[in-house]
C-alpha cells in the first residue's frame, strides 16, 4: 500500500488538502492538483508533487494525467474531490452558471476518470474515490443545482462501479455532511449574489443564518473526511459508500425514515 500513486484534485484547501497531507504522512506518493498553485506549493515541503489542474478544462485534465503517467507509469488512485456550490434559487441562477456547476462537479470528474481508466484496466487494479455529499441524497431550498450535480454523481458512481469491477477497479463514494472548510463561504457568496435580493431574499437571509449557526456548531474539520478516504484506500473490500460523520448519518436516517411530505414540512419549519 505504501508505494501507491495517488492523484488528488481540489487539493489546495479543505478536504482535498487534508487528504493529501494524510496520504503523504501515510507513505503514499501524492500528486496534488488544483488551480491555486500558491496554495499547492505549501504541500511541497511534505513531499507532494503539485500540478495545475482546472477540471472544467479538458486540455488541463489531459495534461495533468499525462504528467503523472509519464513520471510514474501508472495512477493507482484517483481522488475526485474538486467541486463547488452554485447556490441560489433555481429561478435566479443563470443557466451558464448551472452548466458550469455540472462541468466542475460531474463532467470534469468524469473526463478525468476516463483518462485514468485505461492504465488501471491494463494493470487489473485501481481505485476511484468520488467525493460526493449527503446533498446527493437530501435536498434543501436554494441549492438545487448543487444538489442536482451531486445526485447525478451518485448515479454515475454506481454505474462506474458496476462497469469497472470486472477489471479489478473499485469505485467508492464519500458522502460528507457539514464540514468546516472554505466551501461554505463560496456557497453563501453565490447564494447572496444570485438571490440575496428579490422575492427569495427573505428565505436567503433565514437560510444563511441557520446555515452559519448550524455549520459552525460542532461540524468536524476536513481531517475527519480524509481519515475515511484513507480507510477506503486501505480496505481490501471497501464499501460502495461512506457517510461522514455521525451528523451526516443521522440526516440520512431521517431522510430514509420520513416520507417526502413530512420531510418537506420539517425543512420548511426549520427555515421559518
Cross-strand partners of 88: none
Helices (H) and strands (E) in the chain, counts: 11, 7
- Closest by CA to 33, choosing from 126, 119, 109, is 109
Is residue 131 within 8 A of residue 79, CB to CB? The reply is yes
Q: What H or E segment, with its residue span, contains residue 263?
A: helix 260-270
- Residue 31 has a CB neighbour count (10 Å cut-off) of 26
| CB within 8 Å of 264: residues ≥ 6 apart | none
Q: What is the C-alpha separation between 131 and 171, in angstroms, rounded?
A: 11
Question: Cis ω on the peptide bond leading into residue 49 (within 30° of 0)?
Answer: no
- Gyration radius from the chain CA atoms: 19
Is residue 46 within 8 A of residue 24, CB to CB? The reply is yes
For residue 146, indicate whether it is catalytic.
yes
CA dihedral 91, 95, 100, 103 (to 10 degrees): 100
Task: Spot the catalytic one: 146, 156, 194, 242.
Answer: 146
Find cell 511541497 and name the residue: 44
Is residue 92 within 8 A of residue 144, CB to CB? The reply is no
Between the alpha carbon of residue 261 and those of residues 136, 193, 248, 251, 255, the distances in Å are 19, 30, 21, 16, 11
Q: Where in the sequence numbering do the catalytic residues fall?
A: 146
Amino acid at each position: 500500500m505504501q508505494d501507491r500513486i495517488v492523484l488528488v484534485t481540489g487539493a489546495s484547501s479543505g478536504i482535498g488538502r487534508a487528504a493529501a497531507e494524510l496520504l503523504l504522512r501515510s507513505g503514499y506518493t501524492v500528486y496534488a492538483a488544483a488551480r491555486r498553485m500558491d496554495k499547492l506549493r505549501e504541500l511541497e515541503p511534505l513531499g507532494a508533487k503539485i500540478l495545475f489542474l482546472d477540471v472544467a478544462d479538458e486540455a488541463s485534465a489531459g495534461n495533468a494525467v499525462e504528467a503523472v503517467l509519464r513520471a510514474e507509469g501508472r495512477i493507482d488512485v484517483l481522488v475526485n474531490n474538486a467541486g463547488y456550490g452554485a447556490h441560489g434559487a433555481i429561478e435566479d441562477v443563470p443557466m451558464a452558471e448551472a452548466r458550469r456547476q455540472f462541468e466542475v462537479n460531474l463532467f470534469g470528474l468524469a473526463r478525468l476518470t476516463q483518462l485514468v481508466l485505461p492504465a488501471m484496466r491494463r494493470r487489473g487494479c485501481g481505485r476511484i474515490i468520488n467525493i460526493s455529499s449527503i446533498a446527493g441524497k437530501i435536498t434543501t431550498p436554494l441549492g438545487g443545482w448543487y444538489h442536482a450535480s451531486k445526485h447525478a454523481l451518485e448515479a454515475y458512481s454506481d454505474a462506474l462501479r458496476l462497469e469497472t469491477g470486472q477489471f479489478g477497479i473499485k469505485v467508492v463514494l464519500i458522502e460528507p455532511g457539514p464540514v468546516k472548510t472554505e466551501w461554505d463561504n463560496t456557497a453563501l457568496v453565490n447564494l447572496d449574489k444570485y438571490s440575496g435580493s428579490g422575492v427569495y431574499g427573505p428565505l436567503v437571509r433565514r437560510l444563511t443564518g441557520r446555515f452559519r449557526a448550524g455549520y459552525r456548531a460542532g461540524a468536524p474539520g476536513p481531517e475527519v473526511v480524509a481519515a475515511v478516504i484513507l480507510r477506503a484506500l486501505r480496505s481490501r473490500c471497501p464499501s460502495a459508500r461512506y457517510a461522514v460523520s455521525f451528523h451526516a448519518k443521522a440526516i440520512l436516517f431521517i431522510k430514509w425514515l420520513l416520507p417526502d411530505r413530512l420531510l418537506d414540512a420539517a425543512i420548511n419549519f426549520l427555515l421559518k
